[in-house]
A and B are shown apart, each in its own frame.
Chain A
Amino acid sequence: MSAAAPEPKANMGPPEPRIDGRLKVTGQARYPADVPVSNPLYAYLVTSAIARGRITSFDLGAARGVPGVADILTHENTHGDVKQPKFFADGGYASTSIRPLDSAQIWHDGQIIALVLAETYEAAREAAHRVKVNYVEETPTATFDDAGASTQLAKEARKTHEDPEVGNFDEAFRTAEVKLDEWYSTPTQHHNAMELFATTCAWAGPQLTIYEPSQFVYGLQNGVAEQLGIDPEHIRVVSTFIGGAFGSKGSTTPRTALVAIAARRLGRPVKLVATRDQGFTIATYRAETRHHLRLGAARDGKLVALSHEGWEVTSRPDAYMVSGTDTTSRMYAVPNVATNVSIVHADRNTPGFMRSPPETPYMYALESAMDELAVKLAMDPVELRRTNDTMKEPIKGLPYTSRSLMQCFEEASRTFGWSKRNPQPGSMRDGDWLIGWGCATACYPTHIAPATARVRLTPDGEARVETAAHDIGTGTYTVIGQVVAEKLGLPLEKVAVLLGDSQLPPAPVSGGSNVTASVCTVVAKACDAIRSRLGNPNAAELMDALKRQGAGAIEEYAENVSNGPPPESLPLLYKGAVKMAGGATLKDRIQYAFGAEFVEVRVHALTREIRVPRAVGAFAAGRIMNTRTAHSQLMGGMVWGIASALHEATEIDRRAARYVNDNFADYLVPVNADVNQLDVILVSEEDTKVNPLGIKGLGELGNVGTAAAVANAVFHATGRRVRDLPIRIDALLA
């Protein structure tokens, strides 16, 4: 046991090493772009240099003259080949309704406008650089406050949207003894997974195989089928290993259908690996947000009023929104709540899911406001959370299935040494370095989705489990293997886990932190069916029972839809549609995982550099399947949280509505030197109501709250409250 492989406490599974770890660290794991195909052509994208307008003409002469160029696809020769995709939030599969290469219209910076195909990657790249494009440019709208931005209430943009409210906020806030009224903002951020957006398409007659890193192979299969107008049965998606995704590989992006039509047109497999900068515009991102928070409290710290208004940027045609007020309105016991979400359309690519999409920006605002309120109340910020802790959400009065928030605060604050904090800002100092301590609440809704799996047990003591789930670096292979090993009484190495292939039984999108709950539940069900067929012997006697039966291998196919999603969501899963349920969407209960994060920052008195020497997070998330992979997920989340507070921001040229720092040198993510002591504490928790195994997903829990904890610590160090992320030197200089 070690910090990376913590000793399991009650209701926690062993820290089994990842069963795919050796393959990955020895380079044997084959990521989609690594899969060899016979005689491929290489594709290179040409993307638009303007954000709004029309293409008037292409000059392709020089590009076509590059030796090895096979073809160049533009809207002029592919118009109509790709059908109009339906935006996922409108019931489709696509990350955007924008259809590149269909017309001359430009919707956003970096839109795909041509696809160059050549015998080598180098020739395709050179030719792409030689493509000349003539545009008629219109003045684009980049973001909030820019001319041409159109604001729309979320409830108008989406009929199903509700703004949570209860009581009478206006009156309660007016008469509150202590009030806070502030604005916060979060910047544009891109996922920037290590693995680039890659797609290989190979046709064999009517049959199309797609190798692409995907968080949802059934969704991609059906989404591409829709765009090509072919039967989904004719498409297979293979995504065995995924080099980071964070939400960016969940929906069908426009590139896949384009690569497919190129491969069909040229009669050869086509391989695309988009560049890092293209990744900023051909997929999704976390849009910038604004928040207006008003908190009213009594002198004793009890909240009496909460209003959270949010604004989010989206593209012209698509109403993407994250609406984190569903969460922030329910975090604390407050009887009068008003919320409101608006979206602001600009000439941008459509944003999309990015690790804890609603909670990351909205909880940053709430937890910063809570810290400011604590200062106004002259109250310890942990005590303010304790005073307003609740086992019932305030909007409908639904009970939390479990909520160990204060246990998390207690364990984390003890490890951190919070009791030694002098609350006076600027009071703690080490030479030229100002020390600040801050904390915040982390939370993430607990989801489950329908899922299916097939488990096969052979008399020689080996099991194989098949399900079209995905391991996006989270440990899915390992925890599924553990379930089978435990249920069937086998050593883990005797269990083969097959994932990431649309020919396997369908599993939901790897999103919303649902997979461990959804897939482990159905895999356990299949194992139970095998046990039942053998007369339910105990695990140690299972193999003997199988051999006694003398019937060879046993295979069971299981489906599960339970704990929230309606029965009709199961057949939908086979069509690549996911109806997950949980969080605050259930009728009789509310279910979240919680955590508490504490951060120390040091700010140089003269030059104002901000360092994070240590952070402590304690998290309770029901049944922990594997303490090692859980620790890793939460630690990675906290690193991301530090980054979102201090480093990550996509810069936009407001005149051109174009991203400027679209590369790994200029889009800063933390390096090892930025991350020092990180303590992750797993807090024991049992929750029998969320799902049969009591699992709460935690992949998106660790990065919620960190940014607020950092900002609160910066205030404590300097006395300066920075409400707009990221917090950089500029904001702290005189």
Chain B
Amino acid sequence: MRPFVYDRATSVEEAIKAALALAKKPAGTAAAGPVNFLAGGTTLIDLMKLDVMRPERVIDINPLERAGRQGRIEASPQSLWLGGLVRMADVMRHPEVARDYPVIVQSLAFAASAQLRNMASLAGNVLQRTRCSYFRDTSWAACNKRDPGSGCAALDGVNRPHAVLGVSDHCIATYPGDFAQALIALDAKVEIAGVGGMRRIPFADLHRRPGDAPHIETVLQPGDLITGFEIPAAPWTRRSLYLKVRDRQSYEFALASAAVALDLAEGVVRGARIALGGVATVPWRAREAEAALAGKPLDEAAAKAAADAAFADATPRQHNAYKVPLGKATLARALMQAGSMEI
């Protein structure tokens, strides 16, 4: 860990101003640049100790929890608001979210450990960085995400945990989170405070695929601060779930996961929202699978056809080819389970 300046923000505006003071890096590198916001610290502090992240300034935004909507959960008939500084555990315990948006609660409940969920903020959670071992250990020279242009040790290395969707020749690091899958499936919007004030963008536009610049993970600009998420109420949110398949039963990242939300009428799919985790480089909306299901009776064959569609463009490597059949099985199982939910 390198020495850094520690600031405590007293307002959103001030936090942004402080962040901009040192910002020199190009857009999208907010998470890797010289300034980092600190909320739960469950990713940042870890990576600072490993010398992977070396911020010069850390701005503690926890004081903003009680100001504005950042620390609030607000449920209305039209939508659900989840503030960026709300802790994962607080959402899990919220009865209305549990009733109306089970996929959100489950995606949080199956993540991390109780201790981490008590600390980690929602905004920090969606920005958590990959678990790729070659990224997290600086003794590996080749990592385009950590050191642009240095190569990718994972391409032909131990890549059992790596992604098969959204990959490039420059990076196959898996997006590790769970909550983001629920957000992207439910057409959430993310609210961002920045230099020009507040703006809202589709959550689906927040993350960038690695392409030839895997070090740029989001569209966030220097000074941008995620203040919360808005999830529109929709006919499919109650019939929703998150299925997470992993090597051990708890406290572990997904090998494959599926967030599904279904609007069923007489067993026929009127609307389906599907996202995949553990298999892709970014939170992954499976629109091909949704299209394959639309208007069809939900049965095993339809679920399997949708799963096939979701993985049609998968690009496996030496050790992660299993993620294609596993990802398909996970999605098919999630769809069948959602179909049989009592709501």
Interface residues of A (CB under 8 A from B): 47, 49, 122, 125-126, 129, 277, 432, 604, 606-609, 611, 646-647, 651-653, 655-656, 660-663, 665-666, 668, 670-674, 728-730, 733-734
Contacts and interface: CB of A to CB of B under 8 A. Distances in A.
A606 B49 CA distance: 40
B322 A733 contact: yes
A655 B156 contact: yes
15 contacts: A129-B1, A129-B138, A607-B256, A607-B330, A609-B246, A611-B249, A655-B157, A665-B131, A666-B133, A668-B252, A671-B248, A729-B245, A729-B255, A730-B160, A733-B329
Contacts of A656: 157
Contacts, number: 88
B92 interface: no
Interface size bracket, B side: 35 or more
Nearest to A675: B249
Given A607-B333, A609-B245, A672-B250, 16 more contacts: A122-B1, A125-B1, A277-B137, A607-B245, A607-B256, A646-B248, A647-B247, A651-B158, A655-B157, A660-B157, A660-B158, A663-B136, A729-B326, A730-B326, A733-B329, A734-B325
A702 B245 CA distance: 29
B251 interface: yes
Nearest to B161: A666
B278 to A, nearest CB: 11
A64 B239 CA distance: 60
A651 B137 CA distance: 14
Would you list the 8 A-B pairs with minimal beta carbon distance, nearest first?
Answer: A673-B250, A673-B249, A49-B139, A730-B322, A129-B51, A660-B158, A606-B329, A651-B158
B167 interface: no
A651 B160 CA distance: 10
Instruction: Label chain B's interface by main secondary structure.
Output: loop
Contacts of B157: 653, 655-656, 660
B77 interface: no
Contact of B248 (A49, A126, A647): A647
Interface string B129-161: 001011011111100000000000100111011
A606 to B, nearest CB: 5
B39 interface: no
B2 interface: yes
B196 interface: no
Interface in B316-343: 322, 325-326, 329-330, 332-333
A366 to B, nearest CB: 27
Contacts of B133: 660-661, 666
Interface in B214-272: 245-252, 255-256
A733 B325 contact: yes
A360 B273 CA distance: 48
A122 B51 CA distance: 12
Nearest to A123: B3
Interface in B262-314: none
Contacts of A607: 245, 256, 326, 329-330, 333
A663 B247 CA distance: 16
Nearest to A122: B1
Contacts of B332: 606
B250 A729 contact: no
B322 A729 contact: yes
B323 to A, nearest CB: 9
B325 to A, nearest CB: 5
Report which residue of A647, A651, A730 has the largest number of chain B beta carbons within 10 angstroms of its beta carbon. A730
A653 B248 contact: no
A329 to B, nearest CB: 35
A476 to B, nearest CB: 31
A39 B137 CA distance: 32
A647 B131 CA distance: 18
B137 A729 contact: no
Nearest to B255: A729
